[in-house]
Amino acid sequence: MKARFLTHSVVTLIANLSLALSNWLLLIFLTKFFTTNDLGQVVMSLSFLSPLFLFCSFKLRTLIIVKDEHQYRADQYFNARFLSNTLLLVLSPLLAAIFFGSGIGIGIVLLVALYKWGDGWCELSYAYLQSVGRFSEVAKSQVFRALITITWFIISAWFEVNLFVLLVGWSGVTLGVAIIGIRKVALLEQEKNWLGWVLDLITRTHLYRRSLALYKRYFTVSIALMMLSLYVYLPNFFLEAHYGVELAGYFATLSYFLVAGALLVNSLSQVVSPMLVELARLEAFNLFIRRVLQLCLLGCVIGVTSVLVGVFGGEWILRVIYNQGAAEYADELVWVLAAAGVRYVYIFVGTGMNALRDFHSQTIIYTLGTTATMIACYLLIPASGIMGAAWAMLIGVSIEFLGFFSRFGWLVWQLKLDARRDAVNV
């Protein structure tokens, strides 16, 4: 079991890092070859759309893995994703026009929305494959997607394409990989006519009734996801309001270090999630708690290491990866990495709470953390700019850290109390 866990961890880690690298390369490419305004427009589009698409995802990835007691079939999960994400895709230009006015190009918003729509299908396909133990197939798909995306960026740089063409290719690659993933799921569901399977999940009305029931049941979970995403993107809105899209773009280049590191930790989280679910099902709670705490320690080590790298090499890294303009924010990077380090520790606590199906409390914790971040942004960014944004992020994760460990401590106490009662009754 340990050997299989290690293999899955390494495979998932390599795949997620390759995909993170391809997404990071978009920011690097925009910083080096496009104007700061172009960078800012893409960043603000992502900042606006990412929380909305997460809100519409209803954490279906986790629900597939932990096996909801209603035992929804694969086509029902995919129908739910189609209903919510397609509605958001259609409405995204209108919502962006209301929110930004004429400050952000509608074409850019629509292409970013198309990318997020395809990425949602990829994510759900990967979750299904992981739930049936197909970790290597997920890794191959992610690496393939990353390589094709990177190749597109290289071609774009060679031919000096404009921003619109760049984004068309970026979203097109994701849509292509999404189609391949959906086809794979249909085949595993014993549906040889995968196109017919897709048409059925779109057209069968009873699936929509099930989707609406699922939304109602897990509405608070979707709020938790949106709050989790808003934590990363909220500072961009305040920076854009006070300093313009250019400074928001620069902060995004710093905060992506947090996103990239979180992918490393989430890779491990995705692999251990089925194991923790099984331990919870078997009521092996002592081992369950020990595994969660061991993973938290690993997250702490990753966080401390990233901060040390930022302290001693942050300026050089920013200059090499981005440009001299970004290197001027090396001190701010250290504070962003400190905030990231705190988050790496309690991500695994959240994974354990998912295994125990404790979703509602996470919504409350993330809402408190995001609210604290928003208040801190309001107070600190006008006077301190990017440094204020970094401080705000650290304040937000500190609130979440306290919330997660307090809640997990209470759950552990409850589990041990229930175990004692069961022993007495026996």
Q: pLDDT tens for residues 154-193?
A: 999 898 899 999 999 999 999 999 999 888 888 887 666 7
Q: Is the pLDDT of residue 62 over 60?
A: no
Do 237 and 99 belong to one domain?
no
Do 236 and 210 belong to one domain?
no
CA distance 38 to 246: 8
Q: Exposed (0-12), middle (13-18) or buried (19+): which is 319, by Cβ within 10 Å?
A: middle
* Confidence tier at 360 by pLDDT (50, 70, 90): confident
Question: Which pLDDT score, from 0 to 100, does residue 138 have?
Answer: 83
Q: Are the beta carbons of 367 and 399 closer than 8 angstroms?
A: no
Q: Which stretch of 56-60, 64-68, 159-163, 383-387 has the lowest confidence by average pLDDT?
A: 64-68
> CA-based diameter of the chain, in Å?
74
Q: What is the pLDDT of residues 71-89, one digit of tens each?
A: 567 777 787 788 888 999 9
Q: Select from 217, 250, 283 the last residue of a domain.
A: 217
- Domain for residue 226, yes or no? no
Do 171 and 248 belong to one domain?
no
Output 378 or 74, whichever has higher pLDDT.
378
Do 186 and 255 belong to one domain?
no
Q: Is the pLDDT of residue 66 over 60?
A: no
Q: Is the pLDDT of residue 268 over 60?
A: yes
Q: Is the pLDDT of residue 426 over 60?
A: no
User: What does the pLDDT average to over 291-316?
Assistant: 91
Domain range enclosing 303: 231-417
Do 238 and 362 belong to one domain?
yes
- Domain for residue 364, yes or no? yes
* Local structure of 45: helix, strand or coil: helix
- Domain for residue 43, yes or no? yes
Q: Which two tokens stand for residue 139?
A: 């890794």
Question: Which pLDDT score, from 0 to 100, does residue 69 have?
Answer: 45
Q: Exposed (0-12), middle (13-18) or buried (19+): which is 69, by Cβ within 10 Å?
A: exposed
Do 182 and 270 belong to one domain?
no
Q: Are the beta carbons of 265 and 347 closer than 8 angstroms?
A: yes
Q: How many domains does the chain have?
A: 2
User: What does the pLDDT average to over 398-422?
Assistant: 81
Do 244 and 143 belong to one domain?
no
- The count of other CB atoms within 10 Å of the CB of residue 209 is 11
- Domain for residue 423, yes or no? no
Q: Is the pLDDT of residue 10 over 70?
A: no
- The count of other CB atoms within 10 Å of the CB of residue 318 is 25
**157: Cα separation from own chain's centroid:** 27
Q: Which stretch of 41-55, 236-250, 255-269, 383-397 has the lowest confidence by average pLDDT?
A: 255-269
* Confidence tier at 13 by pLDDT (50, 70, 90): low
Do 169 and 279 belong to one domain?
no
Q: Select from 217, 244, 276 the last residue of a domain.
A: 217
CA distance 140 to 286: 35
Q: Which two tokens stand for residue 388?
A: 């204020």
- Domain for residue 225, yes or no? no
Do 191 and 309 belong to one domain?
no
Q: Which stretch of 146-150, 329-333, 419-423 has the lowest confidence by average pLDDT?
A: 419-423
Q: Residues 345, 349, 352, 358: is their CA dihedral positive or negative?
A: negative
Cα–Cα nearest to 269, from 369, 164, 343: 343
Q: Is the pLDDT of residue 59 over 50?
A: yes
Do 236 and 204 belong to one domain?
no
- Domain for residue 222, yes or no? no
- Domain for residue 117, yes or no? yes
For tokens 């230009």, name the residue: 93
- Domain for residue 426, yes or no? no
Q: Select from 217, 239, 262 the last residue of a domain.
A: 217
Do 177 and 247 belong to one domain?
no
Question: Which pLDDT score, from 0 to 100, does residue 312 have?
Answer: 92
Do 90 and 197 belong to one domain?
yes
* Confidence tier at 226 by pLDDT (50, 70, 90): confident
* Local structure of 56: helix, strand or coil: coil
